[in-house]
């Protein structure tokens, strides 16, 4: 097995810089579109055979150094008893948002083996097929809470923030339940065979640092502490728009911190202390001409040498309009340039 990703997570020396991309399986790939045309998104997430197929697609095509489980961060929220819909052009929708004491108390803590068996079966299937490590994942509690409180995506998070500030006890009840659900879900993924786990905090950057410290960070810390009791696999935390939060996230008990593109990689590395670093190419940089894209990648690889361990990735997910040939150029450049640097 190609173990460069796992070694980099632990700060060990590698033959080249490992690379994988968030949303590396998805709508930019014609092979994914073919599978997706057969059924709706949520049904796809619940089909282990097809989830296995689309997880493998980018690894087989581009030779990424890690695979990430194909699923969605909101699957556990449905398992908590919330109706979930995905609408084309609108994204996820919770028709019954959680904004009352009664709704919060009705949230259940699911049993992953009973309520989300399709995710665990997908992990088991993938472990039989993969020649690279498999990353499991979940959404971080604050990010998940925004969806269930707002009823979907939001620009200003009015419902969430007003609850935080005006009804903190209700907010804590919701977050405590989401945190318990997320911990058990990730532990189950590790037991099923995931070889690393990433916690996605997609909306953490919507918080002022003082509010992040109070209303989001403790729940992340709780999950990481729970995971450390049950598994020794690498743990990754990614806070989107998180450059302003590094003072707080650098203290987390995670092996790797994911960095978005809104801060120079070298600056982030200086702030994160003993963590390995993952990131941080702007996803839209994949639209650069080949020579400019390769030059940017070479510069990032040079900066990455200062990290305890470095994993090349995007600063967020691949967007659907991306040309797959550009992804191929990027992955090949990472492998080519970093291998040469190790030999020199």
* Ramachandran sector of residue 141 (left: φ over 0; alpha: ψ -120 to 50; beta: rest): alpha
**36 catalytic per annotation:** yes
How far, in Å, CA of 161 to CA of 232, rounded?
Answer: 35
Identify the burial level of 241 via C-beta atoms within 10 angstroms of its C-beta, where 0-12 means exposed, 13-18 middle and 19 or more buried: middle
End-to-end CA distance of the chain: 25
Quick one: pLDDT at residue 343? 44
Q: Which residues, other chains included, contact 87 with Cβ-Cβ below 8 Å and sequence gap of 6+?
A: 93
Instruction: Provide the residue range defining the domain that includes 271.
Output: 4-343
Phi, psi of 92, deg, nearest 5: -75, 145
Q: Which residues, other chains included, contact 146 with Cβ-Cβ below 8 Å and sequence gap of 6+?
A: 154, 157, 160, 203, 206
pTM for the structure as a whole: 0.97
The active-site residue out of 27, 172, 262, 336 is: 27
Q: Give the model's confidence band at 344: pLDDT under 50 very low, under 70 low, under 90 confident, else very high.
A: very low
**270 catalytic per annotation:** no
The pLDDT tens digits for 194-222 are: 999 999 999 999 999 999 999 999 999 99
**336 catalytic per annotation:** no
Quick one: pLDDT at residue 90? 79
Kindly report the CATH number assigned to the domain that includes residue 80: 3.20.20.210
The pLDDT tens digits for 34-65 are: 999 989 999 999 999 999 999 999 999 999 99
Instruction: Say if residues 229 and 166 touch (Cβ distance below 8 Å).
Output: no
Q: Give the model's confidence band at 88: pLDDT under 50 very low, under 70 low, under 90 confident, else very high.
A: confident
Instruction: Say if residues 238 and 258 touch (Cβ distance below 8 Å).
Output: yes
**340 catalytic per annotation:** no
- Choose among 63, 69, 72: nearest CA to 42: 72
The active-site residue out of 147, 212, 237, 310 is: 147
Quick one: pLDDT at residue 89? 75
**27 catalytic per annotation:** yes
The active-site residue out of 28, 65, 72, 171 is: 72
Percent of the chain with pLDDT over 70: 99
Count: domains in the chain: 1
């Amino acid at each position: 097995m190609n173990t460069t990703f796992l070694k980099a997570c632990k700060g060990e020396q590698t033959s080249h810089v490992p690379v994988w991309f968030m949303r590396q399986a998805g709508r930019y790939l014609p092979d994914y579109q073919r599978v997706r045309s057969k059924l709706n998104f949520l049904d796809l997430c619940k089909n282990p055979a097809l989830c296995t197929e689309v997880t493998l697609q980018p690894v087989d095509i581009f030779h990424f150094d890690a695979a990430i489980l194909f699923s969605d961060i909101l699957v556990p929220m449905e398992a908590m008893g919330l109706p979930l819909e995905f609408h084309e052009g609108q994204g996820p929708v919770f028709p019954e948002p959680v904004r009352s004491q009664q709704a919060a108390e009705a949230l259940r803590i699911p049993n992953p083996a009973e309520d989300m068996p399709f995710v665990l079966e997908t992990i088991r299937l993938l472990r039989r097929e993969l020649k690279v490590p498999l990353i499991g994942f979940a959404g971080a509690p604050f990010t998940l809470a925004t969806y269930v409180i707002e009823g979907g995506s939001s620009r200003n998070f009015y419902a969430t923030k007003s609850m935080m500030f005006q009804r903190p006890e209700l907010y804590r009840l919701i977050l405590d339940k989401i945190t318990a659900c997320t911990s058990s879900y990730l532990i189950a993924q590790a037991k099923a065979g995931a070889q690393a786990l990433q916690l996605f905090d997609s909306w953490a950057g919507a918080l002022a640092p003082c509010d992040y410290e109070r209303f989001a960070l403790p729940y992340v810390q709780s999950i990481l502490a729970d995971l450390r009791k049950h598994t020794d696999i690498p743990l990754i935390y990614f806070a989107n728009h998180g450059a302003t939060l590094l003072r707080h996230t650098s203290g987390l008990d995670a092996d790797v911190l994911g960095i978005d593109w809104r801060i120079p990689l070298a600056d982030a590395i200086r702030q994160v202390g003993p963590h390995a670093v993952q990131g941080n190419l702007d996803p839209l940089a994949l639209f650069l001409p080949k020579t400019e894209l390769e030059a940017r990648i070479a510069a990032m690889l040079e900066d990455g040498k200062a990290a305890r361990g470095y994993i090349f990735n995007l600063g967020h997910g691949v967007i659907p309009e991306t040309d797959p040939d550009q992804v191929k150029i990027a992955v090949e450049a990472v492998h080519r340039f970093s291998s040469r640097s190790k030999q020199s």
